[in-house]
Amino acid sequence: MPAARFLLFFLFCWGSSFAQVNPPPDNYETLVIDSTAKIFVSDISIDGNKKTKRYIIEREMRFKKGDSVLASALMEKLQLSQELIYNTTLFTEVILLPTFISANEMQVRVKVKEKWYIYPTPQFQLIDRNINEWINTYNADPERIVYGAKFAHYNLSGRRDQLKLTFLNGYTRNFAFSYSAPYSNKTLTEGFTLGAGYTQNRELTY
């Protein structure tokens, strides 16, 4: 008889979670697992992280490859891992698929869908109260507007680091950048933020 294998399918997505147990095929056997037993995690695979580093996802999981998880705590650890991965704000969907190889061994597959991380935003602002005042009183003076662009990348190197740039001209000149890296050391417990900027408002003749 082939080795018995029963797949428990836990689907967690979009910040909400629910559990679904697929019925095993006819040639499979259902495993009966004692709630006090420890289940060995023999492998963890991760799919869908085209930009994000694997260890950023593994950091959020409540167990790692080689751990033994108490059966009664398994569901809680799977759900908490899903929530923590989702809360990084790097993904639109997170799915955890544990497969039981035997009554005391399982493998876990993590499937993620990454967000779009790059956001350029055009900027246009009048310094006057409204567009009618700008046109009728100041003859649509181009020096009385602020224009430019802002740029943000929310996962620059795949380590959940953020880069923000600002380029504004016109009445206000503003050039700025900021960079934050939440995980800058090997243990992923420390980070840093740095930035600089220049701002100048023009003097207008009334």
Tell me the per-residue pLDDT of 138-183, one tens digit each, with 9 for 90 and over.
888 888 899 999 999 999 999 999 999 999 998 889 999 999 999 9
CA–centroid distance for 205 within its chain: 49
- Give the CATH architecture of domain 38-114: Roll (3.10)
Give me 112's structure tokens: 């993620």
Tell me the per-residue pLDDT of 40-90, one tens digit each, with 9 for 90 and over.
999 999 999 999 999 999 999 999 999 999 999 999 999 999 999 999 999
Tell me the average pLDDT across 9-23. Answer: 37
Q: Give the per-residue SS3 of 136-169.
A: HCCCCCHHHEEEEEEEEECCCCCCCCEEEEEEEE
Give the C-alpha distances (Å, rounded to integers) separating 6 from 35, 60, 70. 16, 26, 18
Q: What pTM was estimated for this model as a whole? A: 0.78
Tell me the per-residue pLDDT of 92-101, one tens digit each, with 9 for 90 and over.
999 999 999 9
Give residue for tokens 């207008």. 204
CB 31 within 8 A of CB 103: yes
Give residue for tokens 């409540």. 62
Residues of the chain with CATH 3.10.20.310: 38-114
Q: Identify which of 201, 156, 203, 194 has the alpha carbon closest to the alpha carbon of residue 176.
A: 194
Q: How confident is the model at residue 194 (pLDDT cuts 50, 70, 90)?
A: very high
Identify the pLDDT of residue 147.
94
Q: What's the CA gap between 83 and 79, in Å, rounded?
A: 6
